[in-house]
Structure 1
Amino acid sequence: MKRSAWRYLWKSVDIRQKLLITFLLLVIYRLAANIPVPGVNTEVIRGLLQGSGGAQSFLGLLDLLSGGTISNFSILAMGVYPYITAQIILQLLVPIIPALEQRLKDNPREGQIWMEKWTIILTIPMAFLSAIGQINIFGSLLQGGIAAILPNYGWSGANLLPTLTVILTMMGGTMFGIWLGQLISEYGIPKQGLSLIIFAGIVARIPANLLSILSDQQNGWWMLLVILAILVLTIFAIVYVQQGRRNVPVVFPGRRVGNRMSMPVHSNLPLMVNMAGMIPLIFAQAILTFPSMLASYFILSKTEWVANAARDIQRLFSSQSALYIIIYFLMVVLFTFFYTDVLFQQQNYGENLKKQGAQIQGVLRGEATQKYLSKVQRRITLPGALFLGLVAVLPYIVHALLPANAGAGLLLISAAGLLIVVGVVRDTFTIIDTELKLHGYQESLIKG
């Protein structure tokens, strides 16, 4: 009978070592996530998160991006968010700056090394600004201001040293999280380090949210059943869309073997419905935090109209705002098209097929093939982009329909993070399966 190579998962020494290293590094990350920033009043933050309204939803979004570390304002409270922001900035610059785009095309390997180097460099100032912005956001949401969570915070006199300590600690925590993610990618599961860091934070919060739902004695159990039913259907839809393919027929030329010429080979080039995966959701969430973060710098201004404008911006970009939900949906759709186009152009299928002598029937080789495939890819990306947008705003729709805030809160974590969770699990399984095959553990026919 046919048996899967996964039965060798633990027998392969190399793969077992990678899994253990990944697990150990994730445990270290989660332990570090419980270390609070020096001098912070965590009780005030927990009380704020347990409330309701726009502030709670906005902090829930920050909690998702930081991997569930906001509740105790840990040294990893920013998570890997500044790194993601730096990646977004550089990704946006590639198609805008021709010299940078040409550099990546001429030598993709060195280009990626250059991009990684400058992403790390850009992460440092982004982490500095994010730390100050995050502290200011908390201060704007509390009656006592920043002093309610950080009594010794200030940029003058005796408060300067404690303030720098807090900022540098938060920056160090972010760089530590990025370093752990890179260690996972290098020594653990390849290319999955930062994704697994975010994944671990999302999954770690689910048990606590389940308990919060069950704490509602009147609606707890039926709300739990409704939420779980929605999650199961959403997971099914995500997997179905993520596995969607459009097979483009391709003809490979026959090969000469001695004096004989083999027949042309008819094959298919699979194009994914959702090539961008979970990245557009992360990009949209990261960018939508910027207006509130920038407004937080001015919300305590002594000039009344400046402070009022900052509050209006924060209110507008809170998840309770209808405009926020619409912008969120549109940004996910647009980022899906943008990131898919960037990835597709980097693949350069037209030139690669031309080098192999392959051709799509009725289409000229080279640039014409690339344009044709780009057109097909954009067409099939539309349903995938709309689906991602729907998944992104699903928690807000549920929040409007269901009476229990706890249920909506669980879905906020799971739906906004569900695509990330499903994507990471799927990619991790694919990578492990590839590793098994590379080590010779392929599916085989065994008599039994």
Structure 2
Amino acid sequence: MLTAFARAFKTPDLRKKLLFTLGIIVVYRIGTNIPIPGVDYRNVQACIDNAEATQGLFGLVNMFSGGALLQITIFALGIMPYITASIILQLLTVVIPRLEALKKEGQAGTAKITQYTRYLTVALAVLQGTGLVATARSGALFQGCPVASQIVPDQSIFVTVTMVITMTAGTAVVMWLGELITDRGIGNGMSILMFISIAATFPSALWAIKEQGSLADGWIEFGTVMLVGFVMVALVVFVEQAQRRIPVQYAKRMIGRRSYGGTSTYIPLKVNQAGVIPVIFASSLLYIPALIVQFSNSNAGWATWITKNLANTAATPHIILYFLLIVFFAFFYVAITFNPEEVADNMKKYGGFIPGIRAGRPTAEYLSYVLNRITWPGSLYLGLISLVPTMALAGFGANQNFPFGGTSILIIVGVGLETVKQIESQLQQRNYEGFLR
């Protein structure tokens, strides 16, 4: 594997892409440490270092921003607005005929949808930036920190607007950096930045577990977490690579004196067809009730119940609802992204059929049947992986940013595998050996 990396850097154009990607990553990491104007950085650091302060609702978003959210830097919102905008546009494509027509227009339609995604990203950045500034001003960003209400000393309109504009501009820059990596670097730019954001929080989180441990100066807890992490990575790699291959046979066609077709191929249906999207959906949905409590009368009966049962990640109602939402969204997302009838029609149009299954409607019904069967283990796997942080919280007192949480491992492994595949394919184009012999 190290030899393959060396050969990658020996290839001029591939070396240029890798170095360009690394340069963008450095710029991104620098931006995550530059605070925005109007913030008292010493009070922010005091709250971050305060062991009794908790991150409330912002643990997941802070992870996606590489720790920039809680430090309130220019890249505080990270790529979360872009991810949300992409998901919303993907869902609206199924509902709005105009977007569905654009999707079928090919490259021109895709460029138009990308432009809509950028506009929606900026709008969401303004909305989320306003919410973050309001939360920081109220002192709710850090619960239990004595100086949380002094993070934004000057609460005038001008300073507030400046903070929101700065964070929105930071989100636009992050989006631009991701697109630069996609165009001129290696891999999908947004995925790479997400990978870097999550990986950047690992060393400090692991060391915090060692420092907070009590057995053998924390080394027992540290070793246990590392072992759990390696087991989870192996499990995620195994499931992410698993797929059901449905054989497809194409009939021979005679055009003039030449015969076309007659080939055999397959339709790969992944066990985890939905990826990490159901986990993000479920987390976002569960954050809404707790977010409402933050800006309302928290002494009311309903607010107390929500704080105790839904905002608390270790509460039994939260665990059950979180698991059920992940399973539901896994089926929902697969249903809107994979259309068995469309696949069956395309196969029939080009003379393809599944051996033993008639073309047309029987093929669509068979694909739906197989897809439902393999989505069940995929959705259950997503739910169980995502509950690891909660089990860690109950097991040995890890905080809610347990480094080997389900969402972080799913993203890191998925992006890592995809990036390695892209580098390997470019190596094989030049007759070099890939990473896997």
Per the normalisation by structure 2, the TM-score is 0.86
Asked if residue 189 in structure 1 is aligned to residue 186 in structure 2, the reply is yes
Q: Following the alignment from structure 1 to structure 2, what is the Cα–Cα distance between the partners of residues 280 and 209?
A: 25
Q: CA deviation at 1:47?
A: 4.1
Q: Aligned ranges for residues 155-174 of structure 1 at < 5 Å?
A: 159-174=156-171
Further displaced range: 43-52 or 11-20: 43-52
Q: Aligned ranges for residues 396-435 of structure 1 at < 5 Å?
A: 396-402=390-396, 404-405=397-398, 409-411=401-403, 414-435=405-426
Asked if residue 380 in structure 1 is aligned to residue 382 in structure 2, the reply is no
Partner of residue 150, structure 1: 152
Q: CA deviation at 1:31?
A: 0.4
Instruction: Note if contact 2:314-2:394 (Cα within 8 Å) is conserved in structure 1.
Output: no
Q: Following the alignment from structure 1 to structure 2, what is the Cα–Cα distance between the partners of residues 62 and 8?
A: 37
% identical aligned pairs: 34
Q: Aligned in 2, Cα 1:143/1:243: closer, same or farther, shift over 3 Å? A: closer
Q: Aligned ranges for residues 349-368 of structure 1 at < 5 Å?
A: 349-368=343-362
Q: Following the alignment from structure 1 to structure 2, what is the Cα–Cα distance between the partners of residues 260 and 149?
A: 75
Partner of residue 156, structure 1: none
SS in 2 for 1:112: helix
Per-residue Cα deviation, 1:235-257 (whole angstroms, up to 9, x for no partner): 11101111111121222223659
Per-residue Cα deviation, 1:408-438 (whole angstroms, up to 9, x for no partner): 6433x5433111100110111112222334x
Cα RMSD (Å): 3.2
Identify unmatched segments of 5+ residues in structure 2. Answer: none
SS in 1 for 2:60: helix
Amino acid at match of 1:239: V
Amino acid at match of 2:275: G
Per-residue Cα deviation, 1:223-276 (whole angstroms, up to 9, x for no partner): 011111111111111011111111212222236599797994444332211122
Q: Following the alignment from structure 1 to structure 2, what is the Cα–Cα distance between the partners of residues 295 and 441?
A: 59
Q: CA deviation at 1:170?
A: 1.1
Match of 1:330 among 318, 324, 327: 324
Q: CA deviation at 1:81?
A: 1.2
Further displaced range: 317-326 or 424-433: 317-326
Match of 2:238 among 234, 237, 240: 240
Per-residue Cα deviation, 1:154-206 (whole angstroms, up to 9, x for no partner): xxxxx11111111111111111111111111111124x111111111111111
Match of 2:334 among 337, 340, 347: 340
Q: Following the alignment from structure 1 to structure 2, what is the Cα–Cα distance between the partners of residues 221 and 419?
A: 26
SS in 2 for 1:75: coil
Q: Following the alignment from structure 2 to structure 1, what is the Cα–Cα distance between the partners of residues 102 and 401?
A: 45
Q: Following the alignment from structure 1 to structure 2, what is the Cα–Cα distance between the partners of residues 311 and 134?
A: 23
Amino acid at match of 2:337: L
Q: CA deviation at 1:282?
A: 3.0
Q: Following the alignment from structure 2 to structure 1, what is the Cα–Cα distance between the partners of residues 265 and 163?
A: 58
| Aligned residue pairs, count | 426
Partner of residue 222, structure 2: 224
Match of 1:251 among 249, 252, 265: 249
Q: CA deviation at 1:217?
A: 6.0
Instruction: Note if contact 1:136-1:146 (Cα within 8 Å) is conserved in structure 2.
Output: no
Amino acid at match of 1:420: I
Q: CA deviation at 1:327?
A: 2.9
Partner of residue 174, structure 2: 177
Amino acid at match of 2:393: H
Q: Following the alignment from structure 2 to structure 1, what is the Cα–Cα distance between the partners of residues 134 and 304?
A: 12
SS in 1 for 2:249: strand
Amino acid at match of 1:218: S
Q: Following the alignment from structure 2 to structure 1, what is the Cα–Cα distance between the partners of residues 354 and 290?
A: 49
SS in 2 for 1:251: strand
Q: Following the alignment from structure 1 to structure 2, what is the Cα–Cα distance between the partners of residues 267 and 323?
A: 46
Q: Following the alignment from structure 2 to structure 1, what is the Cα–Cα distance between the partners of residues 260 and 159?
A: 76
Q: Following the alignment from structure 1 to structure 2, what is the Cα–Cα distance between the partners of residues 146 and 223?
A: 31
SS in 1 for 2:10: coil
Q: Aligned in 2, Cα 1:259/1:246: closer, same or farther, shift over 3 Å? A: same
Q: CA deviation at 1:57?
A: 5.4
Q: Aligned ranges for residues 92-171 of structure 1 at < 5 Å?
A: 92-104=91-103, 106-138=104-136, 139-140=139-140, 141=143, 147-153=149-155, 159-171=156-168
Partner of residue 203, structure 2: 207
Q: Aligned in 2, Cα 1:386/1:148: closer, same or farther, shift over 3 Å? A: same
Q: CA deviation at 1:313?
A: 4.9
Amino acid at match of 1:410: F
Q: CA deviation at 1:75?
A: 1.1
Partner of residue 77, structure 1: 76
Q: CA deviation at 1:390?
A: 1.0
Per-residue Cα deviation, 1:44-83 (whole angstroms, up to 9, x for no partner): 3344445568943533223113222134221111111122
Q: Aligned in 2, Cα 1:127/1:58: closer, same or farther, shift over 3 Å? A: same
Further displaced range: 67-76 or 253-262: 253-262
